[in-house]
Amino acid sequence: MKNGGGRTSRIRRRKLFRSSESRGVNESYKPEFIELKKWLKDRKFEDTNLIPACFPGTGRGLMSKTALREGQTVISLPASCLLTTDTVIRSYLGAYIAKWQPPPSPLLALCTFLVSEKHAGDRSSWKPYLEVLPKAYTCPVCLEPEVVDLLPSPLKAKAWEQRSHVWEFFSSSRGFFSSLQPLFSEAVESIFSYCALRWAWCTVNTRAVYMKRPPRLCLSPEPDTCALAPYLDLLNHSPDVQVKAAFNEETRCYEIRTAARCGRHKEVFICYGPHDNHRLLLEYGFVSIRNPHACVYVSKDMLVKYLLSTDKQMNKKISILEDHDFIENLTFGWDGPSWRLLTALKLLCLEAEELFLA
């Protein structure tokens, strides 16, 4: 048909739409990526099959230059490119960390290094990496309070918890920041401000890869598991892909292997975990449209409102659920109610005599 309303043209349009959905615009010509590639090369990173690109659905990410086979290593980043607590302790901050009591946490060490290097600007040997990091984030801690209040519960409560957690992280670190004054000509309060620390916290939270480091006496005993991996951290999340990601002790590289084939000029994804959209927004500041883990939360208030308003055993039933940690994370997913929700509903629907037998 010539008017474009027929079946063939509908199929063609659908195909075109699908391919344009994943088609990225090459960004490797941008000065910040040219500098980053040079910096990585100096640290023995061998150019990969990937190039930075901007995608209509997911924003900035990495695109395959060639088709990728199943099991192929897509990126292999030498240890010298990774930013870990080892990097921080070996730096000018090491002596100050070693002196400070109680010892700073691994997270505080990483965040302090990021803020300090960002402040150093052109003098920082990490400048090419810092230049490609986002200037701002969209995690709830960065949103206006009025926007946080529009989030659905229980995400709203978790978002407020995140804001107090980051504020507390900042307040409790002020003493340590003061101890760094000899390193700077400006007042540390203006360098290690709340906004600067929040930016560093979001950088680590949204971009770090998992890499377990042995405990160190100069750091607090919290798990030391975060490493910043320049360039590799441009990979976006898809709930549908499977990859193998780990530090290879033999090659001394952090490696990512595909578990399935990937076409040429397609966005290459990794999976950040089987997260629902609440968790993705909270931890990474985005939601995934076709998320198989998406779910709707059913709150205690909703259960009480629709099930129990006339039930004389209501308080007892609710307290049983609370005692057994069954009042939170009750969800409906694509397949219907979760096992937790069904279990809670079964208990809430028991007759009085059944409840005493239970």
Ligand X SMILES: C[S@@+](CC[C@H](N)C(=O)[O-])C[C@H]1O[C@@H](n2cnc3c(N)ncnc32)[C@H](O)[C@@H]1O
Stretch that binds ligand X, among 66-74, 143-151, 210-218, 228-236 (CB under 6 A): 228-236
Under the criterion CB under 6 A, does residue 311 sit at the interface with ligand X? Answer: no
Cross-strand pairs, 26: 53
Under the criterion CB under 6 A, does residue 134 sit at the interface with ligand X? Answer: yes
Give the integer Cα–Cα distance in Å for 213 and 254.
Answer: 13
Our CB check for ligand X shows the closer of 26 and 58 to be 58
The least CB distance from residue 63 to ligand X, in Å, is 12
Our CB check for ligand X shows the closer of 22 and 58 to be 58
- Specify the amino acid at residue 10: R
Our CB check for ligand X shows the closer of 112 and 206 to be 206
Under the criterion CB under 6 A, does residue 267 sit at the interface with ligand X? Answer: no
Our CB check for ligand X shows the closer of 275 and 317 to be 275
Under the criterion CB under 6 A, does residue 286 sit at the interface with ligand X? Answer: yes
Give every CB contact of residue 43 below 8 A, 6+ residues apart in sequence.
78, 80, 81
Q: Which of 22, 26, 28, 58 binds ligand X (CB under 6 A)?
A: 58
Give the integer Cα–Cα distance in Å for 325 and 356.
Answer: 20
Q: Which of 6, 56, 59, 274 binds ligand X (CB under 6 A)?
A: 59
Q: Which of 61, 128, 140, 230 binds ligand X (CB under 6 A)?
A: 61
SS (H, E, C) 171-186: HCCHHHHHHCHHHCCC
Evaluated on CA atoms 261, 263, 265, 270, the torsion sign reads negative
Stretch that binds ligand X, among 34-42, 85-93, 189-197, 282-290 (CB under 6 A): 282-290
Under the criterion CB under 6 A, does residue 128 sit at the interface with ligand X? Answer: no
- The site for ligand X, by CB under 6 A, has a size of 16
Evaluated on CA atoms 273, 279, 284, 286, the torsion sign reads positive
Our CB check for ligand X shows the closer of 233 and 276 to be 233
Cross-strand pairs, 244: 257
Stretch that binds ligand X, among 5-13, 172-180, 285-293, 294-302 (CB under 6 A): 285-293
φ/ψ bin of 336: left (φ > 0), alpha (ψ from -120 to 50), beta (otherwise): left
Give the integer Cα–Cα distance in Å for 17 and 284.
Answer: 27
Give the integer Cα–Cα distance in Å for 131 and 113.
Answer: 15
Under the criterion CB under 6 A, does residue 234 sit at the interface with ligand X? Answer: yes
**Radius of gyration of the chain measured on its C-alpha atoms:** 25
Q: Which of 233, 254, 295, 311 binds ligand X (CB under 6 A)?
A: 233
Under the criterion CB under 6 A, does residue 284 sit at the interface with ligand X? Answer: yes
- Specify the amino acid at residue 172: S
Give the integer Cα–Cα distance in Å for 315 and 304.
Answer: 10
Positions that interact with ligand X (CB under 6 A)? 58-61, 134, 206-207, 233-237, 284-286, 288
